[in-house]
Amino acid sequence: MLTIQGPSGRLCDAPSRRELLSVGGLSLCGLHLAHLMGGPACAETKRPPGFGSAQNVIFVYLQGAPSHIDLWDPKPAAPAEIRGEFQAIPTRVPGIFLGEVLPHLAQQADRFSLIRSVGCKPPGLPNHGSAIYMLMTGHDPGNFSPTGLAVPPSREDLPSVGSVVARFQPARSPRLGYAAVCGPTKEAAVVGLGQGAGLLGASFDPFTNYEDPTKPINLEVFALPGDVTLDRLQSRVDLGRRLELAVAQAEQVGRDGERGTFAVQYGQALSLLQRNEAIRAFRVEEEPAALRERYGMTRFGQSCLLARRLIEAETRFVQVTWPARSDDEPMAGPDGSWDTHRNNFPMLRDHRCPVFDRALAALLGDLHERGLLERTLVVAVGEFGRSPKIGAATTNNVGPGGRDHWPDCYSALVAGGGIRPGEIYGESDRFGAYPRSHPVHPYDVLSTVFHAIGIDAATEYRDTLHRPRRLVDHGAPLLGLF
């Protein structure tokens, strides 16, 4: 039970210093001063634009990093070795142009906005590992190699954006707080880089299903063993809670010490089994054939459709990760890598972009038609962009017609969830090499996600050594997007 000490009455009636201090202590329980002081009687207290404008998030992570110049930020006036082989095409929004490889998204441009000035300096060389960790967690990696290569995930990692949302803006039981589909984050031999809850504990790890949704998904993961009934599982949960309560009392463990407990995880499983909305969301085969074709019968396309179904089932945060490993050699086919160190243009034109363009355009259109886009924030971004000059190596081996890693400037798509559509935020220079105006750090992008879902990006929590940690190292939400 929560008790606000002090005399009774509305907080707007000149709250005392003691009342305000008491309210400030409720942040860990999901209550903030703005919540308690809001309402008609406190009209003078206003939240920043866009705060809490989204109820759900779909985070489309294009691991491997597509070329921003060839997709989102064409440079038709640049020299041929910069602008590349693709033409700029007009969109439904006058004055906004995309690369010719995104014709479907060009027709959806009035439903999204573009940030064209994202950039940062990852620690070490501009490799995938450190850039992925920064994008996923909002923190610089402290345990990577000097060259920025990834290390296996651990419980000492900082939590991913999805885990933070699941922790500080939990979904209503028995809905899923954080689901990850299509594929895991992968760099070299490291799987799950920056994708888990880290020190927040296993309770806030994503529910993962990386099966190919072009085929019926095996839902045996939701089934109970033959000798276990729901009543028996409930008894286990109750017993686990009593045991852990006794241990917590003996050790004087506080709320932050309850991460990843047996009872919490079994309780989540029990809630899912008792109600099947989240389980049914994975039955993509129930959708009409025409709608499935609209998304494209590819792993990525059907995963975007699955994300929409999970949002309808009130999942708070869904991550759709491009299925190829970040540093795979670009190969033909629908599931190949965006890491186009060579053959950038045929790979994008014939393989990557037709799959991506069709699926993301269908997702935006489908969400809009169902009335879900207004409350669902959609973000699509890679861990960095690609080098402006074709065939020129910066730090890595680049072959003919390839573009190297380029974290200094790239683009992100944002839509729904209170975002003003049909606009451009920030600008790159004439070669797409560096931000010209309104530079944006990836931590600003994550701060914007937290802001839209109703989480103050300045929120702090305690790590395993009881040290205060911010949700992001630095940065602020991009209020100009709302």
Q: What is the DSSP string of 407-436?
A: TTSEEEEEESTTPPSS-EESEE-TTSSSEE
**Which class for 438: exposed (0-12), middle (13-18), buried (19 or more C-beta within 10 A)?**
middle
Q: Are residues 192 and 313 in the same domain?
A: yes
- pLDDT tens digit string along 121-163? 988 788 899 999 999 999 998 888 777 788 899 999 999 999 9
pLDDT at 260 over 70: no
- Condensed to tens digits (0 to 9), the pLDDT of residues 148-206 reads 788 899 999 999 999 999 999 999 888 899 999 999 999 999 999 999 999 999 999 99
The predicted-structure confidence for 72-96, as pLDDT tens digits, reads as follows: 999 999 999 999 999 999 999 999 9
Q: Which of 18-32, 349-363, 405-419, 429-443 comes out lowest in average pLDDT?
A: 18-32
Whether residue 226 sits in one domain with residue 181: no
Q: CA triplet 366, 367, 370: central angle to 5 degrees?
A: 85
Q: Token pair for residue 96?
A: 């906004």
399 and 257 housed in the same domain: no
Listed in sequence order, the DSSP H helices in 260-389 are 262-274, 277-281, 289-295, 299-312, 344-347, 353-369
CA dist 158 → 7, 309, 377 (Å): 41, 29, 23
Q: What is the pLDDT of residues 271-326, one digit of tens each?
A: 554 556 778 899 999 999 999 999 999 999 999 999 999 999 999 999 999 999 99
Q: How many domains does the chain have?
A: 2
Domain boundary among 253, 281, 309: 281
pLDDT confidence of residue 6: 34
Q: In CATH, what number is assigned to the domain containing residue 191?
A: 3.40.720.10
Residues 360 and 473 in one domain: yes
Asked whether residue 452 is domain-assigned, the answer is yes
Q: Would 345 be classed as within a structural domain?
A: yes
- Which of 260, 281, 302 is the last residue before a domain boundary? 281
Provide CB contacts within 8 A for 436, sequence distance 6+.
117, 427, 428, 429
- 36 in a domain, yes or no? no
Decide: 7 and 23 in contact? Cβ < 8 Å: no
Q: What is the pLDDT of residue 18?
A: 33
- 244 and 305 both lie in a single domain: no
Note the pLDDT of residue 272: 53
pLDDT at 205: 96
433 exposure class (CB count in 10 Å sphere: 0-12, 13-18, 19+): buried
Together in a domain, 75 and 112? yes
Residues 61 and 116 in one domain: yes
pLDDT tens digit sequence for 428-477: 999 999 999 999 999 999 999 999 999 999 999 998 889 999 999 999 99
Q: Is residue 213 part of a domain?
A: yes
Same domain, 206 and 271: no
Do 363 and 294 reside in the same domain of the chain? yes
Where a domain ends, among 230, 247, 281?
Answer: 281
d(CA 305, CA 217): 13
Same domain? 315 vs 382: yes
Angle (CA) 284-60-139 rounded to 5° is 140
What confidence score (pLDDT) does residue 346 get? 97
Q: Write the single-letter amino acid at 163.
A: S
323-344 per-position pLDDT tens digit: 999 999 899 999 999 999 999 9
* Band of residue 217 on the pLDDT scale cut at 50, 70, 90: confident
Cβ–Cβ < 8 Å for 130, 123:
yes
In a domain? residue 45? no
Q: Provide CB contacts within 8 A for 320, sequence distance 6+.
A: 58, 59, 60, 61, 181, 182, 300, 303, 304, 307
145 falls within a domain: yes
Decide if 37 is inside a domain: no
The dihedral sign for the CA sequence 120, 123, 126, 131: negative
Q: What confidence category does residue 418 fall into, taking pLDDT thresholds of 50, 70 and 90?
A: very high
Inform me whether the pLDDT recorded for 261 exceeds 60.
Answer: no
48 pLDDT above the threshold of 90:
yes
433 with 472, same domain? yes
CA distance 184 to 131: 16
Binned at pLDDT 50, 70 and 90, residue 240 comes out as low
CB atoms within 10 A of CB 22: 16
Residue 465 pLDDT = 87
Give me the pLDDT at residue 245, please.
60
206, 232: one domain = no
* Tokens read off for 481: 């997007």
Instruction: Answer yes or no: are the C-beta atoms of 139 and 446 closer than 8 Å.
Output: no
The mean predicted confidence, pLDDT, of the chain is 85
**What's the domain range around 231?**
219-281
Q: Can you give the pTM of this predicted structure?
A: 0.83
| Cβ atoms < 10 Å from Cβ of 365 | 17
Residue 29 lies in a domain: no
